[in-house]
Each structure stands twice: as C-alpha cells, then as structure tokens.
Structure 1
Amino acid sequence: MFRRTLLTSTAALALLLPLATACGGDAEAESSSGLSSVTLAVGATGWKNEEAVLKFAHLDDTPYKVKWSLFQGGDQQLQAVRAGALDLASSSEIPPIFAAADGSPNFKVVAVQRGTTLNQEVIVPKGSKVTDIAGLKGKKVGYVQNTTAHYFLYELLQRAGLKWSDIDAKPLLPNDGLAALNGGGIDAFASYGTSVITAHQQGAVTVGSGKDVLSGNFLWSARDNVLKSAGRRAAAADLIARITKAYAYIRDGREHEFAKVVAKATHQPVAQAEKDFRDAQAQRPTQARTVGDDTIASQQKVADAFTELGALKGKLDVKSFWSRALDTDLEKAL
C-alpha cells in the first residue's frame, strides 16, 4: 500500500513558519537585482506533481528560487498562506472560500488553472452493500473538509434526494480517511487524487463521482506581499505559465515516459498511470488562464452552496478576494 508522509495542517504550519521571513515581509521593496533575488514559497498537493512536471519538461531551471512544500490538500496550503508561510498556493475553488471567510484574507486569487475532475469520487470498500449515493443514508461517510470532496459529496447527496444530516459525516484527511475505510471505521469516503487511486488498487468501488459536479477551475492564490512587488508578480506569473507549457510538452507524445515518473511516485503500474494521465488530459487539458467574470461567478456558486449547507455563517462575496494584478504578466508569460 502506497504511503507517503505528508504535512498535516498543524505540522505544516509549524515547519513552514520559519520560512515566512524568507518569503519576504509585506513591506518588502522590489529588488533592483531582478528575478535572481526572488524566492517563492509554493504549495503542492499529492506528490509534488507540479514540480515533477517542470523537471520532466526541463522547465525547472527558473531565474528565481522556488521552495516547494507538500500538503494533503489545498485547504492546508491556504492555512499556510494565512500564516505567512507560503507565497503561492494551488487549490480547488473551495479552500480560498474558507480562508477568506473571516473577512480579512491576506491573499488574492490571481489565476485559474483548468484541470481534470477525474479521481474525485465517493468510494466504498470491496464487498460493501452500498451501490449508489442513495445507499449512504444512515452511514458513516468520511470526507476531506473544505475541499472539492466536501462540495461534491454535498451536491451528490442533494441529487440523490438526501440531506447532509441524512449521513453521519466524518471530516478526515486523505490518508486518515483511506485507513478508516480499510479498517471499517467508515462506510464510504469522499476524496480525490492519490487517495482514490490507492483505494481502487485495494479493491474500493466508486458509488459517486464529482466529475460532472466540479467546474475544473483550480485556483492560484498569491499572498498580498507577492502582488506588491513587480519582481514577485513576474516570478509567480512565469511559474504558472511554465506549468502550462510543461503539460503541453508532455501531451506532445511524451505521455508514456512521464507515466514512468508518476508510477514511481504513486506505486501504480506504468500502464495505469499512463491511462490516467491520458484520460485526464483528454477530459480537460491542464492549462492556465487569467481571471474572468465567469471564473469568479463559478466560485460564487460554490460559496453559496456552502452557505446553504451551513458551513459558512453568511453569504460571502468572493470577488472581494480576486485580483487581476497578475493578468498582464501571465498573458506575456503564456
């Protein structure tokens, strides 16, 4: 069984807080020495696939420094941004909503990365009598709180005629949820990415999918100090654009070779890793775009759903924490 030691929320912040000084204070002036003096502390979820993609495409030799840190979810990345320990976070639409819910976020959503919504599923263990979402009524269901899993589980329950209160919902981190599913502590688990892949390797069965529930918009959130420096803005835009170019490089006939990298990291057979990658890119090629009214409206719809669920105390105006400050640099970099 694939296991990787990931930073939990508390441990992540404890380890990353010393980096806050290296990330630069809010009053940091733009350096006259150019990008070589810039260091970006950047979050990653899963197995640092963004870093691996850049390295595979020979685009990791940036003119600025990048310090990658690994988290189990985008929610933890946003917590690190709020703590001043990350400059740039990648997540689904959900984590910035909760990170901004207190009304005083220290970040802005500055770009959107279109991506696959595959491997976002509600799964049950092998031999379970539950065959669909309706069968979850009265069951213990794990989910990754304040993430895509939280949202698509809620939406799937509604579509099946169930309320959130109809299940015994248990917030769990991906690794903990997988262990609970295998150990009989929960009857089903709503999760994403590597945890879903690993669960299927262990015989888990899909009873619901977020594929057609989620928008495919994954957000880049930058700490406010990044936007105050022309050098940091240029570095952030360049990094985001490089990831887009790296995926295009892989799609240009290099899927099999990259699948070997993925398989080594996730302990999948190479053939399965290649199929998953091809399926993901066929559904929605990974590529960045600038902020648009449609992307803001998409997140507003999600925020309103969490208000209805009672996870947010009141209506949240999401456009208050979006910014087009990176648009010009990103358009040039792309």
Structure 2
Amino acid sequence: MLFRRTLRSSAALLALLLPFAAACGGDAQADSPADVTLRVGSTGWKTEEAVLKYAGLDDTPYNVKWSLFQGGDQQLQAIRAGALDLASSSEIPPVFAAADGTPNFKVVAVQRGATLNQEVVVPKGSKVTGIAGLRGKKVGYVQNTTAHYFLYELLKQAGLKWSDIDAKPLLPNDGLAALNGGSIDAFASYGTSVITAHQQGATTVGSGKDILSGNFLWSARDSVLESPVEKAAAADLIARITKAYAYVRDGHLDGFAEVTADATHQPLAQARKDLVAAQAQRPTEARTVGDDAIASQQKVADVFTELGALKSKLDVKSFWSTALNAELKKAL
C-alpha cells in the first residue's frame, strides 16, 4: 500500500501544481527588480534560504518565494508545470524532465557541492553488511534522483544487476517509514533522510560519495531567460548563495552549524562535523555552464539509458544554455 501511494503522489503532483502556477503567474515581463518574484525550489530544509539569511545576503532587490520539495525530481516537475522559475537538483532530474517531452527549461548554472550523506542504509539489527547482501532483498530508492543512479552503480560494482533486487521507488519520508516498519530491507536516499535514518539506528552498506560528480544544477524556466530583469535576478541569487557559503567557511562555521542542527534535529556536534566535512570535500560554489559539466551529465543520462529507465539515448546539451554565463560571471 505504501509503495502504491508513493507512485500515485508523483503522478498527482503536476495536477496539484497547475492551479498554483496559474495563480502565481510568472510569464509577465517585469520592468524593474522590484517587479520580479522568483519562485525557487529547495530540497531538504531550505538550506539556500537559510544560508543567505545567516550571511546577511537575503536583502535582494527582487522578491524570492522559496518552496520546499522532497527531491529535485519534484522541483523539475514543478518547473514543467509552470509553478517554479528556478529549480536546484542533481544531474538526474533534468534528464527525466527533458525526456518526458519538449522541456520548458534550460540548465543555466552548476553548483559544485559535497556528495556526502548519499547512501544505501539498512535498519538497526540487519544482517546485511554490504551491497552484495542485497540480492533478493526489497530495496527502496528515490526514483529519478542521485539515489537511483548511485544504487545502480553500486549494484554493478558488486556484480549484481538491477533485476537482482526487488526495487521499490519511494519518496524520502515514505522510505524512512518503510525502512523502520520493515517493509523494505534497505533504502537508497540522501540528505536529511539519511541523517534521520542514522539517528534511528540505521547503518551504511554503500555510499555514492565517490560515484557522484558533485555537480548540482540550476534549471531556469524559459520565460526567465526571455526577461532581462528576471535573468539578472536569477544570476544574482545564484551568486549570492556562493558568497553566503564563502562567508560560512570564513570563520562562521559554528553559527551555521547551529542553524543546521536546529533545522535537522541532530546534535550540534554532528551537524558541525558534517558541515566541516562537506565544505572540506567540495566547497559549495557556483560555476558557469561549460562543456565539462554537459559531458558529465551526458554520462549520467547514458547510464539511465543502459538501465532502461530512458527509452532512447538523450542528447543533454539540447536543454543547456549559456544565457546566464555573462551575468553570473559578473555577479560572482
């Protein structure tokens, strides 16, 4: 029942977002920054909004409306429905959003970030100690996200095929409930859901840390790129997030660790340890669109074609754009 409910929730998301998109508008041309409202997605606990506020960089001359989603896949669905202007995700969600028809968005920037807390976990007391032990097991995963990708790659490394497990697509919160309730034997997820799983006694049997590229993508609706004022606002916001993380690294880690601990309900020491480790592994910072980033996503798309999740090979550069490069470079 849990699995079916989760699948229905994804299918219903677009229908729920359509009236919201109509109410919000977003296609009218703005004449000045004060007329602009960027509708921006966030996954987990609105980390980007929090870091901007912490660094004192949330005083934008334009308006920002943040919306929280359980995954980047849902953000891209919202972009497709016209309910978001900017979506932040891993490399995977834009692939599926573009493969599902003519996309109304472009990938306009890359945010380099840590690949920690991207794991396959098993519940407390499990006898599974590694990926090879998942053969024949019920394994939950967050579909069309990093979890989908690194789970497949970890299975290959262990000599297993996707068909060797009973794969169950689940949203992060539903996956946690299924793991704790015994409905699944393992769960591939990321971020806050992995942190919470460990707090509840789960252990790690596989990690995507060295599998994932660390490229997290900013996707903008085409209408944003058609408006000079909205385009400038998008570039400014992305640059501000980079500057906010630089502020955190420059002697302000402890304070943002407190913000993180409060939001994720974890001990302060653990929040600080994770924050230090993440920024040490790969400092959070934006980059303009380049051939290397496009090639990295093409590799990911080809893996999903191999898996059979995509019906045919997808040329990812068709939904990338350098339209934000000049403004973003200047803002950075």
Same fold at TM > 0.5: yes
Whether the 8 Å CA contact 1:112–1:218 is kept in 2: the answer is: yes
Residues 45-194 of structure 1 aligned to structure 2 (within 5 Å): 45-194=43-192
Corresponding position of 1:22: 24
Unaligned runs of 5+ in 1: 1-7
Instruction: Quote how far apart the aligned CAs of 1:127 are.
Output: 1.1
Cα distance in 2 for residues equivalent to 1:39 and 1:299:
29
Look up the equivalent residue of 1:139 and give its one-letter code: K
1:219 aligned residue: 217
Q: Deviations over 1:87-135 (max 9, x none)?
A: 0000000000000003400000000000000000000011111000001
**CA separation of 1:124 and 1:76: change in aligned 2, threshold 3 A:** same
Tell whether 2:283 aligns with 1:285. Answer: yes
Matched AA of 2:52: L
Is 1:23–1:39's contact at 8 Å kept on the other side of the alignment? no
The CA deviation at 1:265 is: 0.7
Aligned residues: 323
Secondary structure of the structure 1 residue equivalent to 2:99? coil
CA deviations over 1:137-159 (Å, ceiling 9, x no partner): 00000000000000000000001
Q: Which has the higher mean CA deviation after the structures are superposed, 276-285 or 97-106? A: 97-106
TM value normalised by structure 2: 0.95
Any unmatched runs of 5+ in structure 2?
1-8
Distance 1:144 1:98 in 2: 13
Q: Judge conservation of contact 2:42–2:88 (CA < 8 Å) in 1.
A: yes
Residue 5 (structure 1) aligns with = none
Which residue of the partner structure matches residue 303 of structure 1? Answer: 301
- Tell me the distance in 2 between the aligned counterparts of 1:38 and 1:95: 26
Residue 227 of structure 2 aligns with an amino acid whose one-letter code is S
Q: Residue 3 of structure 1 aligns with which residue?
A: none
Aligned residue for 2:258? 260
Q: Which residue of 2 aligns with 1:245?
A: 243
Q: Matched residues, percent identical?
A: 79
Whole-angstrom distance in 2 between the partners of 1:309 and 1:101: 15
- Which amino acid in 2 is paired with 1:304? D
Question: Counterparts of 1:164 and 1:105 in 2: how far apart (Å)?
Answer: 28
Over the residues paired in the alignment, what is the CA RMSD in angstroms? 1.2
Give yes or no for contact 1:91–1:220 (8 Å, CA) kept in 2.
Answer: yes
Measure the CA separation in 2 of the matches of 1:105 and 1:180: 33
Deviation at 1:18, TM superposition (A): 2.3
Runs of 4+ in 1 over 4 A off after TM superposition: none
Give yes or no for contact 2:21–2:81 (8 Å, CA) kept in 1: no
Q: Which amino acid aligns with 2:24?
A: A
- Deviation track 1:131-189 (CA, whole Å, cap 9, x = no partner) reads 00001000000000000000000000001100000000000000000010011000000
Whole-angstrom CA distance in 2 between matches of 1:20 and 1:228: 19
Equivalent position to 2:233, from 232, 235, 238: 235
